[in-house]
């Protein structure tokens, strides 16, 4: 194992590998430590969606810029990440949701996003298989530049490009301790040896809280169990991701043809339990066949459990810690880490290489939770 590095990134998910790529490209000596295999955590379990329709300005800005990067990422990384823009159709079920949508669309449009409010009668023009009455839709919003990419391939593409620029990635390697010298990161102790470094990036997803606690930092994140199912492959039927905040459901058809989607588990509890449940399957099947009746004849192949690393305001925690110098937070994505990764990795890499502080970074510090006035992200599904 390498004895020293400029930066040690903990976590081989999409954010860890993306930051590794950007730092290595900028000429830094980078090591990634992953306790299992690449994309083994939330990245590899996620629903693959990429959306820009949010209720908070920070998430909207980050995601608009991320989408612009996703558009050219396959070329940049020289590997097809299966990015495609079929849009996101957000179904509204009552007046309250319609009012929130109007507010959101106004804010989103002010940031330059192409998004509009859709009448119920127009919904089948976008996703013909939807049953407008069955899902009790009173309206919807649609953004045509939202979309999907393959989370595994995106992670591998970032990792391969990072390696080409000289980064070293250790999989099946556990971080056991982090040492500090005069409030500055000094080394990372792993199951395969010790690495001297002055920077650590905590991109360990749901385990970020444990990593932060190694240097005495308490983060307010909680692990929320989520389940996702995948059907057999079908001919292409629709392009858009369909979601509903009220029902909590999301689903889309992936490039290979399978329908992938999720919904909150009825008896969901906070904590780390990985066993999938039958009640999820039943609840999801009842909901998705109400939205798309023809799916009743379609076979489900598998379902799995993943985790949201959730913060009190459902927005990520990003940037260098104020107490422990060199410790960089990159967690708390609350279910949206994959779609924000291109921009998040750019902002954090620029901070580490040049000390550049972007305005978004200033609003997403850990310290915001000490204040009383939190802006809650409302647009959360799954």
Which residues of this chain interact with other proteins, rule CB under 8 A?
A: 36-40, 44, 152-153, 156, 160, 163, 171-172, 230-233, 256, 276, 281-282, 284-286, 288-289, 295-304
The nearest distance, CB 300 to other proteins, in angstroms, is 6
- CA neighbor of 244 nearest in space, from 257, 268, 262: 262
- CA neighbor of 275 nearest in space, from 243, 295, 246, 303: 303
C-beta neighbour count of 373 within 10 angstroms: 5
The backbone torsions φ and ψ at residue 30, rounded to the nearest 5 degrees and listed phi first, read -120, 140
The nearest distance, CB 374 to other proteins, in angstroms, is 36
The nearest distance, CB 205 to other proteins, in angstroms, is 16
Cβ(41)–Cβ(11) under 8 Å? yes
Cβ(31)–Cβ(9) under 8 Å? yes
Inter-axis angle of helices 57-77 and 95-110, nearest 10: 60
The C-alpha atoms of residue 101 and residue 105 are separated, in whole angstroms, by 6
Instruction: Write the CA distances from 98 to 86, 113, 124, 141, 148, integer angstroms.
Output: 22, 18, 19, 9, 25
Inter-axis angle of helices 337-354 and 14-25, nearest 10: 30
The nearest distance, CB 304 to other proteins, in angstroms, is 5
The C-alpha atoms of residue 261 and residue 242 are separated, in whole angstroms, by 9
CA 199, 205, 209, 211 dihedral sign is negative
Of the pair 248, 276, the CB lying nearest other proteins is at 276
Cβ(263)–Cβ(239) under 8 Å? no
Would residue 271 be called left, alpha or beta, if left means φ above 0 and alpha means ψ between -120 and 50 degrees? Answer: left
The C-alpha atoms of residue 119 and residue 243 are separated, in whole angstroms, by 16
Cβ(255)–Cβ(150) under 8 Å? yes
DSSP category for residue 256: T
Q: Alpha helix locations (H) across 330-377?
A: 337-354, 359-363
Of the pair 119, 256, the CB lying nearest other proteins is at 256
The nearest distance, CB 25 to other proteins, in angstroms, is 19
The C-alpha atoms of residue 176 and residue 299 are separated, in whole angstroms, by 43
The nearest distance, CB 83 to other proteins, in angstroms, is 17
Tokens of 359: 């305005």
The nearest distance, CB 320 to other proteins, in angstroms, is 31
The nearest distance, CB 281 to other proteins, in angstroms, is 5
């Amino acid at each position: 194992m390498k004895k020293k590095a400029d930066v040690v990134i903990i976590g081989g998910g999409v954010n860890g590998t993306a930051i590794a790529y950007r730092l290595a490209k900028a000429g830094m000596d980078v090591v990634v430590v992953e306790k299992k295999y690449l994309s083994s955590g939330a990245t590899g379990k996620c629903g693959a969606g990429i959306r820009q329709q949010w209720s908070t300005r920070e998430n909207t800005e980050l995601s608009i810029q991320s989408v612009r990067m996703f558009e050219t990422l396959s070329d940049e990384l020289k590997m097809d990440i299966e990015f495609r823009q079929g849009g996101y159709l957000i179904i509204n079920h009552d007046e309250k949701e319609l009012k929130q949508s109007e507010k959101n669309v106004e804010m989103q449009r002010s940031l330059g996003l192409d998004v509009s409010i859709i009448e119920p009668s127009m919904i089948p023009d976008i996703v013909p298989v939807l049953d407008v009455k069955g899902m009790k839709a009173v309206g919807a919003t649609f953004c045509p530049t939202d979309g999907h990419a393959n989370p595994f391939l995106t992670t591998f593409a970032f990792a391969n490009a990072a390696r080409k620029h000289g980064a070293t990635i250790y999989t099946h390697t556990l971080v056991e301790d982090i040492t500090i010298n005069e409030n500055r990161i000094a080394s990372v102790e792993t199951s395969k040896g010790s690495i001297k470094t002055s920077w650590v990036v905590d991109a360990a997803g749901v385990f970020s809280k444990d990593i932060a606690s190694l240097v005495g930092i308490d983060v307010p994140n909680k692990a929320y169990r989520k389940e996702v199912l995948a059907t057999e492959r079908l001919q292409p039927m629709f392009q858009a991701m369909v979601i509903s905040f009220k029902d909590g459901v999301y689903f889309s058809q992936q490039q290979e043809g399978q329908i992938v989607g999720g919904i909150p588990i009825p008896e969901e509890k906070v904590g780390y339990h990985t066993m999938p449940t039958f009640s999820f399957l039943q609840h999801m099947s009842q909901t998705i066949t109400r939205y798309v009746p023809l799916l009743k004849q379609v076979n489900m192949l598998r379902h799995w459990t993943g985790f949201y690393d959730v913060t009190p305001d459902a927005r990520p925690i990003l940037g260098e810690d104020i107490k422990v110098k060199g410790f960089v937070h990159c967690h708390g994505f609350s279910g949206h880490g994959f779609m924000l990764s291109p921009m998040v990795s750019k902002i954090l890499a620029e901070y580490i290489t040049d000390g550049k502080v972007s305005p978004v970074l200033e609003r997403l510090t850990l310290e915001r939770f000490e204040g009383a006035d939190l802006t809650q992200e409302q647009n959360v599904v799954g």
